[in-house]
A and B are shown apart, each in its own frame.
Chain A
Amino acid sequence: MQKIIKITIILLLIFILGIFFLSLNKSSNYNTESLVGNKLGEIELVSFEDDSIFTNDDFKKNSFTLINFWASWCAPCRVEHPQLMELSKENNIQILGVNFKDKKINALKFLKDLGDPYEYLARDSNGKQSVNFGIYGIPESILIDDKLKIIKKFVGPLTNQDLNNIKEIINNL
């Protein structure tokens, strides 16, 4: 019996130390990896220009769509804009820009100054729509296919590496 108790205590200690080791080596930052492969739910985004609505059907006809949440007041959005302009030249992908908690006049000036890479432009004035896309900060981008399945999520500004990654995915169709 003494032996069993000793073994149990040793196993318990190993288990506790193991949990500590794993937990301390694990990043505590929110990770969006688990959402890859999920399908987007019902999309209902109000157009930036008028009150028309973009729905799932608008994006099902595209091989790939990159949904990009941005705002004129967001400095990292300026950083990633050249990547979006570059991506807009590709044929297999359309970019949906969702202007997040922004003033229309500022958003228009942003696009006039830096260029407009968006095939579709929607607005999310109070930010509620961003929750439907699992967004928690901007800029954030979601690459979806024609079945509205999430292929990849990009948290933070798109880098050159991200751009190459997207090009690789869309050109290996």
Chain B
Amino acid sequence: MKIKIFLIIFFINFNLNLGSIEPIDESKIHKNLRCLVCQGQSIADSNSEFALTLKMVVKDLIKNGKSEDEIYDFLSEKYGDWILYNPKLNVGNLLLWSLPYLALVLGGAIIVSLVRKQSKKT
């Protein structure tokens, strides 16, 4: 009986997971791709030749079944990480990614020590 219940729950969960696969949001990808010939614009905001071409290529890649990450990998291989507004974590940007967490830990440590010092005084 327990096995049956387990299997039912397993398959319901499995189907729910399958059903929850979201279609790729093309405009979200456009917003994360820098228009290399524009000043501070994503390809979503631009109608330049480059932006229009890139939009066509993104559409094709989605049609060919590529995932969002695969599309970013493909384009950063061709143009470098500069094309991505939100690049993946790598050695070059490790400091950038870890700095907010370092600041949080350091700030927390300073606050804790100040509070302790204050409570000792009182």
Contacts and interface: CB of A to CB of B under 8 A. Distances in A.
Interface of A: 1, 5, 8, 30-32, 34-35, 38, 41, 101, 126-128, 130-134, 136-137
A131 B53 CA distance: 8
B56 A134 contact: no
B53 A127 contact: yes
Contacts of A130: 53
Given A34-B80, A136-B79, 20 more contacts: A1-B114, A5-B110, A8-B106, A8-B110, A30-B79, A30-B82, A32-B80, A35-B78, A35-B80, A127-B49, A127-B53, A127-B56, A128-B56, A128-B57, A131-B53, A131-B75, A133-B78, A134-B78, A137-B37, A137-B50
A137 B79 CA distance: 12
B44 to A, nearest CB: 17
A39 to B, nearest CB: 10
Among B50, B53, B114, chain A packs the most CB atoms within 10 A around the CB of B53
Interface residues of B, number: 20
Nearest to A35: B80
**B-side binding surface: helix, strand, loop or mixed?**
helix
A141 B83 CA distance: 19
B113 interface: yes
Contacts of B113: 1
A128 B36 contact: no
Contacts of A32: 80
Contacts of B79: 30, 35, 134, 136
Contacts of A31: 80, 82
